[in-house]
C-alpha cells in the first residue's frame, strides 16, 4: 500500500511539471492527521486554503510527532515555545481555548492561526514570496523579518519580494540565518509537493 501511494504521488508530481530526482515520503503518522489538518486550516483560512503548505510545515516542525520536544523547549506538532502557545491562546480564547500545545487538534489550529496573522502582516509581490515571509517569521520572529526587510531596502532590493531580495540580507548570526532561510525553502520547495493530495499548493515557479 505504501509503494502504491508513493507511485501515485510521483505521478501527480510529474503531471504538475515537477522533476523528481529523489522520492521523499511524508512521515508514517502524517496520514492520520490529514483530516484534522484540512479541517483546522480551513477553519482559519477558508475553503481555498493552501493545505499543502501546512502539511509540509508540520512535517518540518515535528515530523508529525505530537509528543515532540526540542532542546530549546518547543512542544508538540507545531513546536510552539511555551511563551508563544500561552500568548496565542490568550489572544484567541474563542478559537483556541486553553493552552494545549501537546493536543494535536489545538496545535494544528494554533499553527494555522499564527501563520494567518503573519501572512496578513507581510505584503508581497507573489503568493510564494508572501508565504515565504510568513514561514520565515514563524521560524525566526516578525521583528527579525522586519529588520531584514529594512536591510533589503538599504541595499536597493525590494521588501515585497523574498527570493533574491529579502532572503539575501540579515543581521542574525550565521547559524540562525542559515536555519531561517532553509525553513521556507524546505517547506515550499521540497516537502510541499508531498501533500498535493491534501489540497492546493503555493506555486513557487521562480524560487531558487
Helix, strand, coil % (nearest 5) of the chain?
A: 60, 0, 40
Find all residues with CB under 8 Å of 65, minimum gap 6, and list them.
27, 29, 77
Active-site annotation holder among 40, 61, 95, 127: 61
66 is catalytic: no
Question: What distance, in Å, lies between the first and last C-alpha atoms of the chain?
Answer: 34
Quote the CA–CA distance of 112 and 117 in Å, as a whole number.
9
- For residues 92, 93, 97 and 100, what is the CA-based torsion angle, rounded to 10 degrees? 50
Supply 105's cell numbers. Answer: 487538534
What does R_g of the chain's alpha carbons equal in angstroms? 17
Counts for the chain of helices (H) and strands (E), in that order: 9, 0
Quote the CA–CA distance of 99 and 90 in Å, as a whole number.
8
Active centre residues (catalytic): 61
Amino acid at each position: 500500500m505504501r509503494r502504491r501511494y508513493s507511485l501515485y504521488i510521483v505521478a501527480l508530481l510529474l503531471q504538475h511539471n515537477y522533476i523528481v530526482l529523489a522520492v521523499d515520503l511524508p512521515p508514517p503518522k502524517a496520514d492520520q492527521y490529514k483530516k484534522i489538518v484540512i479541517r483546522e486550516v480551513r477553519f482559519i483560512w477558508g475553503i481555498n486554503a493552501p493545505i499543502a503548505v501546512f502539511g509540509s510545515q508540520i512535517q518540518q516542525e515535528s515530523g508529525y510527532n505530537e509528543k515532540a520536544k526540542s532542546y530549546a523547549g518547543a512542544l508538540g506538532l507545531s513546536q510552539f515555545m511555551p511563551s508563544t502557545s500561552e500568548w496565542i491562546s490568550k489572544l484567541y480564547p474563542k478559537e483556541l481555548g486553553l493552552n494545549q500545545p501537546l493536543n494535536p487538534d489545538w496545535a494544528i489550529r494554533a499553527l494555522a492561526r499564527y501563520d494567518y496573522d503573519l501572512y496578513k502582516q507581510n505584503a508581497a509581490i507573489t503568493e510564494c514570496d508572501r508565504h515565504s515571509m510568513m514561514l520565515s517569521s514563524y521560524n525566526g520572529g516578525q521583528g527579525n523579518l522586519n529588520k531584514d526587510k529594512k536591510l533589503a531596502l538599504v541595499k536597493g532590493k525590494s521588501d515585497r519580494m523574498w527570493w533574491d531580495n529579502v532572503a539575501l540580507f540579515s543581521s542574525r548570526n550565521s547559524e540562525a540565518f542559515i536555519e531561517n532561510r532553509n525553513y521556507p525553502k524546505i517547506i515550499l520547495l521540497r516537502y510541499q509537493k508531498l501533500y498535493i493530495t491534501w489540497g492546493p499548493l503555493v506555486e513557487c515557479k521562480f524560487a531558487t
